[in-house]
């Protein structure tokens, strides 16, 4: 029995490498006859660096940079020396995980540290940057990061604005004359599967609440994003609301596309190609995938559904494992899913589930492995 374990990360708990490892341990304890291959996945958010560095046999770099609250944090990124590629996660320098819940305020958080990571990579000779922008705590349209890379964001008196969402209210023009040539010539690829535009009901505001925005902040953020869009339209002739994904991670994707000519790509598609996911699924008897939470929303562009779609194409059965699974996720049974399992039981609180996720995952995988009706080479179609 060849089982492919291909999960995404469990946010604020385990990265996808850890999730895959603990599922494998549980399955192997259950039966020696189960052959397990691990393909940890990511979509531009947590785990992207680890997944790609492992796949491409790169190395890790750890440096201190400015965090989202402007205090120093230790951040990790990856370098693939032969190809001169750097793989960076925005979340390492400006992620929600770096801001205590009581201090979350997207009007004030900054992406400054993201620019410091990019600059460090460029200074180390990297010619290509893959920037995963998931799980951000920011809505600053990347002005923090871009200012470190040499761009200047000026008000009507030609003074630098505050480098956060609040500062965008005063933005009048952008000066890019001080961006170094080595930064301009670097090829930046933005890895994200978020399709939101910058402004409006379905823009960057969609994620404001989870970043800590109070109801009174929403009109201010809306005004700040509209002003940034108008400055870009006036100066570059580009309407950011015509670019899918321009509102991802608080607008940093769209800003980098316009100002640094960055390319925007699906984070999942980048990783899918590098790890040869489709070929591995075709060669397997059973696929186990999942992420922190599975609900009906996973049908819309999330990693779990994309794995399920590939498996469905090759008529391979799928088991979903998650931190929590809502009732409306039953719709996945229409797409070749034969089982859905959650580590969050009625007797376990969310806090304890996050804390004990490794053991809970191993126990759950062991139970699945012992279920001969599920883990057997049946023909499901």
Q: Encode pLDDT of 161-191 as tens digits.
A: 999 999 999 999 999 999 999 999 999 999 9
User: What is the mean pLDDT of the segment spanning 109-120?
Assistant: 98
What pLDDT sits at residue 379?
Answer: 47
Per the listing, tokens 């580590």 go with 343
- 38: closest CA among 381, 207, 277, 200? 277
CATH of the structural domain 2-41+276-370, one choice from 3.30.750.24, 2.40.50.140, 3.40.50.10350, 3.40.50.1370: 3.40.50.10350
What is the pLDDT at residue 156?
97
Strand 128-132, strand 152-154: pairing: unpaired
- Given this model, what pLDDT does residue 108 score? 98
pLDDT band of 89, cuts 50, 70, 90: very high
Q: Which helix (H) or strand (E) holds 225?
A: helix 218-236
* Tokens found for residue 121: 């990579």
pLDDT in tens, 293-332: 888 777 767 899 999 999 999 999 999 999 888 888 898 9
DSSP for 10-67, please give it: BTTTB-HHHHHHHHHHHHHHH-TT-EEEE----SSSTTHHHHHHHHHT-EEEEEEEE-
Q: How far apart are CA 313 and CA 133, in angstroms?
A: 29
DSSP 194: -
* Predicted confidence band of residue 354 (pLDDT cuts 50, 70, 90): confident
Radius of gyration, alpha carbons of the chain: 21
Residue 349 has pLDDT above 50, yes or no: yes
Percent of the chain with pLDDT over 70: 95
- The structure tokens listed for 129 are 């940057």
Nearest to 28 by CA among 37, 38, 36, 20: 36
pLDDT, position 11: 76
Query: Are 51 and 43 spatial neighbours (Cβ–Cβ below 8 Å)?
Result: no
**Residues near 17 by Cβ (< 8 Å), separated by ≥ 6?**
38, 40, 47, 50, 51, 54
Task: Report d(CA 88, CA 360) in Å as an integer.
Answer: 30
User: What does the DSSP assignment read for 130-150?
Assistant: EEE--SB---STTHHHHHHTT
Please compute the mean of the pLDDT values over residues 355-378 and round it to a whole number.
81
Give the mean model confidence (pLDDT) for residues 341-363. 80
- CA dihedral 158→161→166→171, nearest 10 degrees, is 30
- Our CA dihedral for 350, 356, 357, 359, rounded to 10 degrees, sits at -140
Would you kindly state where each structural domain of the chain is located, as residue ranges?
2-41+276-370, 48-267
The secondary structure element, H or E, covering residue 199 is none
Structure tokens at 89: 């996660």
Whole-angstrom CA distances from 34 to 31, 77, 370, 371, 379 are 6, 34, 10, 12, 17
Its sign, for the CA torsion 291, 297, 303, 306, is: positive
Q: How confident is the model at residue 348 (pLDDT cuts 50, 70, 90)?
A: low
Length of the chain: 381
Q: What is the pTM of this model?
A: 0.87
For the stretch 245-274, pLDDT in tens is: 999 999 999 999 999 999 999 999 999 999
Alpha-carbon span 198 to 205, nearest angstrom: 8
Judged against a pLDDT cut of 50, whether residue 146 lies above it is answered with yes
C-alpha angle 71-111-306 in degrees, rounded to nearest 5: 125
| pLDDT value at 15 more than 90 | no
The arrangement of secondary structure in 48-267, i.e. its CATH architecture, is Alpha-Beta Complex (3.90)
- Strand, helix or coil at 330? helix
Residue 202 binned pLDDT confidence (cut-offs 50, 70, 90): confident
Confidence of residue 355 (pLDDT cuts 50, 70, 90): confident
């Amino acid at each position: 029995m060849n089982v492919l374990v291909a999960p995404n990360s469990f946010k604020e708990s385990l990265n996808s490498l850890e999730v895959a490892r603990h599922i494998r341990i549980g399955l192997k304890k259950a039966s020696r006859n189960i052959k397990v291959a691990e393909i940890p996945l990511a979509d531009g958010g947590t785990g992207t660096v680890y997944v790609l560095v492992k796949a491409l046999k790169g190395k890790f770099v750890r440096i201190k940079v400015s965090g989202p609250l402007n205090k120093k944090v230790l951040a990790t990124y990856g370098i693939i020396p032969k190809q001169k590629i750097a793989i960076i996660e925005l979340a390492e320098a400006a992620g929600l995980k770096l801001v205590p819940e009581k201090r979350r305020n997207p009007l004030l958080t900054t992406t400054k540290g993201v620019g410091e990571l990019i600059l460090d990579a460029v200074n180390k000779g990297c010619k290509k940057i893959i920037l995963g922008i998931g799980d951000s705590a920011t809505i600053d349209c990347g002005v923090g990061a871009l200012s470190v890379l040499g761009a200047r964001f000026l008000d009507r008196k030609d003074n630098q604005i505050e480098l956060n969402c609040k500062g965008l209210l005063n933005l009048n023009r952008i000066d890019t004359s001080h961006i170094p040539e080595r930064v301009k010539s670097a090829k930046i690829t933005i890895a994200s599967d978020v399709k939101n535009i910058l402004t409006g009901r379905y823009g960057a505001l969609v994620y404001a609440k989870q970043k800590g925005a109070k109801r009174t902040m929403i009109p201010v953020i809306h005004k700040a994003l509209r002003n940034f869009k108008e400055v870009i339209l006036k100066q570059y002739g580009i309407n950011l609301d015509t670019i899918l994904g321009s509102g991802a991670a608080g607008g940093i994707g769209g800003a980098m596309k316009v100002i640094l000519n960055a390319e925007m790509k699906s984070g999942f598609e980048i990783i899918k190609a590098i790890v040869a996911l489709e070929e591995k699924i075709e060669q397997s008897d059973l696929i186990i995938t999942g992420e922190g939470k599975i609900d009906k929303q996973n049908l819309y562009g999330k990693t779990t559904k994309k794995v399920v779609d590939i498996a469905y194409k090759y008529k391979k059965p799928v088991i979903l494992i998650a931190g929590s699974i809502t009732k409306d996720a039953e719709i996945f049974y229409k797409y070749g899913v034969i089982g859905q399992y959650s580590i969050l039981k009625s007797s376990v609180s969310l806090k304890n589930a996050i804390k004990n996720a490794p053991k809970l995952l191993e126990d759950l995988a062991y139970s699945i492995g012992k279920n001969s009706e599920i883990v057997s080479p049946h023909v499901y179609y």
